[in-house]
Chain A
Amino acid sequence: DTEVTQTPKHLVMGMTNKKSLKCEQHMGHRAMYWYKQKAKKPPELMFVYSYEKLSINESVPSRFSPECPNSSLLNLHLHALQPEDSALYLCASSQDENEQFFGPGTRLTVL
């Protein structure tokens, strides 16, 4: 299984809502990533988990809260988001510092 899955595919939420994005991989990869991508821009790294521990937080606002319950799962908890947080959120995984496998993304709209 060489697939990274993400749910939901689309999410619309108000600024007072709490929601979560989910990501799953069964390739045994030890690194998992969250990226944010705005239209016509490159992906921007948000968080990296290595061996289920948060290793990189790119100064992301606390309204984004990552969680890695086990080596196959990665969540991104969202709370009190702003309209400018609307974007495509991409999850990826990799084995060591090699190619990253990306999920299809969650298209988030904050109203």
Chain B
Amino acid sequence: SQQGEEDPQALSIQEGENATMNCSYKTSINNLQWYRQNSGRGLVHLILIRSNEREKHSGRLRVTLDTSKKSSSLLITASRAADTASYFCATDATSGTYKYIFGTGTRLKVLA
């Protein structure tokens, strides 16, 4: 069963705009990760945020985590056509087991 639900399922924006996608999960976590996947390819790790962190930045990416609401958001600022991809959150279902459950994903399309 899915640990994370993401919304929106699909998002289409113009180049230069910001893109925000959200992830909600069900159980307590140690950390939450965001990954990007270009069509039919392997996933690329973007950022990891630990349960005791509230916000993290990496380049044009900003991730927030609200453990009380069991939710996280990924903001991509000044989007580019190359950001077109699917974005997944992943949570560790149980600490120490290497068991990560991926959310349903958001398909982002950035129009040039």
Which A residues are within 8 Å of any B CB, using their own CB?
4, 31, 33, 40-45, 48, 50, 55-56, 88, 90, 92, 94, 97-105, 107
Contact = CB atoms under 8 A, between A and B. Distances in A.
What are the 7 A-B residue pairs with the smallest beta carbon separation, nearest first? A102-B42, A42-B102, A99-B45, A102-B43, A104-B42, A31-B98, A48-B98
Interface string B96-107: 111111111101
B13 interface: no
Contacts of A31: 98
Interface SS of A by simple majority = strand
A90 to B, nearest CB: 6
A100 B40 contact: no
Contacts of A97: 30-31, 92, 95-96, 98
Contacts of B2: 42
B45 A50 contact: no
Interface string B70-112: 0000000000000000001010100111111111110100000
Given A31-B98, A42-B105, A55-B97, A101 B40 contact: no
Nearest to B88: A42
Contacts of A90: 42-43
Nearest to B105: A42
24 contacts: A40-B105, A41-B104, A42-B2, A42-B102, A42-B105, A43-B43, A43-B88, A43-B102, A44-B102, A45-B101, A48-B98, A50-B98, A55-B97, A56-B97, A90-B42, A97-B31, A97-B92, A97-B95, A97-B98, A99-B48, A100-B100, A104-B41, A104-B42, A105-B40
